Structure 1
Amino acid sequence: MIPLMLLDTADLPDGGTLRLMRRGNDHFILFGRNELMSSRLKGSEEALASLSCAPLKDRSGARVLIGGLGMGFTLRAAQALLNRTAHIVVAELVPKILEWAQGPLAHLFHDSLSDPRLSVRLEDVRDSLLAAAQGGSATGYDAILLDVDNGPDGLIHLANDWLYGAAGLRAARAALRPGGMLAIWSAYDDPAFTDRLSRAGFAVDPVKVRATGGRKGAHHMIWLARKP
């Protein structure tokens, strides 16, 4: 059996540690025993972008916020769909994730980080949302994509509870332009979260997608929540 090798670690603001692992050509990011990301499973991360950004492909000056850099699969899928006038902002809380993207995971990112449409901010996506909400339509987004935790709760960062609670959803709604889309990734379904999105004033469409992007394998969830 090919051994699992530790490449690096990253400390989290609330305590705890992320571990970047490699087995053969496959890379993993672990939090405790939880596998948060894997280079083998990118289908649902790509779907997060394709489901929310495809309607924007012909829109001039589309603005998209991605919460969480991850292994770059959502970013690259969004870049492939959006036209040259788009502006993509990535908010990444953990600086080491960006270091990994430029180092041991660079082969997964290819040239995506040098895209002139891209701005990477080392900040909590909460701050990005609040700034956009206060700035009005000029700083608002046509799509906000959140993949910052394992689901609609604060597993790896306790402050993520705010994002998925009533206050965070109100901020996300205010940060969207009229008709804008909030898309949220999760490793599991949560009917109570669907109700919470509805109560926050979104038109909600929960979508099951394959983690592999194919016809087999585990399902992940993506909530598509449109601002009227």
Structure 2
Amino acid sequence: MKPIITIAETTLPDGSVLALQEHDGRRFLLADKVQVASPATRISEHELARIACAPFRPVRQPRIFIAGLALGELLEGLATAVPQKRATFYVGEASKDLADWHREFYPEGTFATDKRVFHVNGCDMGALKAIDSPLHAILVHADTAPVLAKGRGLFEDRRWLSVAYDSLLEGGLLAVASSRKVPNMDRNLENAGFEIAYHQIDANPNARRPKIHHLWLGRKGDYTSQ
């Protein structure tokens, strides 16, 4: 049996311990020994990027914000879904150590090599407000994105949703994926002003039974090609 290897650890400002582990070639991210990112969400993270960014494939300079770096799978999916050389990918990640781990241990990954990637300190309201150009899309995977106080997801906070809405250009999308059906997601997005579309993702297409993940797209108004 192959061992679990702890590649790196750090103590976060709230006192919790963040650890990067690897087992049999697979990576895991744990906070206080609780798994917060794993290969289980890889497919839905890639599908989140593909579906949310499809309307902006004709755009020459799309600007996309990702909430949290995690294991980098959402960013890898985004880099594939958006091939434009003049795109800008903002990765909102408060943990400098996690960003450094990607550069040190996975130097061939998108975060370390793609010049379209810009590291933003966090993904809270302040981080969104600091971006000086309107965004085409904001991507959040509920399983891997950082949470707010008391363990609340970004998409559960009325103020964060309001800032996200204001940060998007007309026709821009807030896309949220999750391995579980999130209570009140439709209502939260509607109350923030978004028009909603819902998709299901088979997160394990090779299994006998489908593993359904959920995707909500919140659109701000109507998009006009720029």
Structure 1 unaligned blocks of 5 or more: none
Q: Is the 8 A contact 1:151 1:187 kept in 2?
A: no
> What's the offset of the Cα at 1:33?
4.8
SS at match of 1:46: helix
Q: For 1:218, which of 199, 211, 220 is the aligned residue?
A: 211
Q: C-alpha distance in 1, partners of 2:106/2:153?
A: 30
Q: C-alpha distance in 1, partners of 2:114/2:107?
A: 14
| AA matched with 1:84 | K
| AA matched with 1:118 | V
Q: For 1:144, which of 138, 150, 162 is the aligned residue?
A: 138
> What's the offset of the Cα at 1:116?
2.4
Q: C-alpha distance in 2, partners of 1:102/1:40?
A: 23
| Correspondence 1:161 to 2:157 | no
Q: Is the 8 A contact 1:91 1:121 kept in 2?
A: yes
SS at match of 2:28: strand
Q: C-alpha distance in 2, partners of 1:113/1:184?
A: 25
Q: C-alpha distance in 2, partners of 1:174/1:208?
A: 27
> What's the offset of the Cα at 1:55?
1.4
Q: C-alpha distance in 1, partners of 2:62/2:95?
A: 26
Q: C-alpha distance in 2, partners of 1:222/1:162?
A: 15
Cα separation, partners in 2 of 1:87 and 1:178, compared to 1, 3 Å: same
Q: C-alpha distance in 1, partners of 2:61/2:43?
A: 27
| Identical counterparts, % of pairs | 25
Query: After TM superposition, where is structure 1 displaced by more than 6 Å over at least 4 residues in a row?
Result: none
Aligned positions of 1:42-191 closer than 5 A: 42-82=42-82, 83-106=84-107, 109=109, 111-132=110-131, 135=132, 139-147=133-141, 150=143, 154=147, 157-158=148-149, 161=152, 163-164=154-155, 165-191=157-183
RMSD (CA atoms): 2.5
Q: Which residue of 1 is the match for residue 19 of structure 2?
A: 19
> What's the offset of the Cα at 1:214?
5.0
1:127-156 CA distances to partner (integer Å, 9 max, x unpaired)? 222234xx5xxx110101123x538993xx
Q: Which residue of 1 is the match for residue 35 of structure 2?
A: 35
| AA matched with 1:91 | G
SS at match of 1:71: coil
Q: C-alpha distance in 1, partners of 2:215/2:14?
A: 26
Q: Is the 8 A contact 1:44 1:213 kept in 2?
A: no
Give the TM-score taking structure 1 as reference length: 0.83
Q: C-alpha distance in 1, partners of 2:187/2:146?
A: 15
Q: Is the 8 A contact 2:28 2:71 kept in 1?
A: no
Q: C-alpha distance in 2, partners of 1:210/1:32?
A: 29
Structure 2 unaligned blocks of 5 or more: 222-226
Q: Is the 8 A contact 1:9 1:17 kept in 2?
A: yes
Q: C-alpha distance in 1, partners of 2:199/2:123?
A: 26
1:206-226 CA distances to partner (integer Å, 9 max, x unpaired)? 323233465655332222111
Q: C-alpha distance in 1, partners of 2:70/2:144?
A: 14
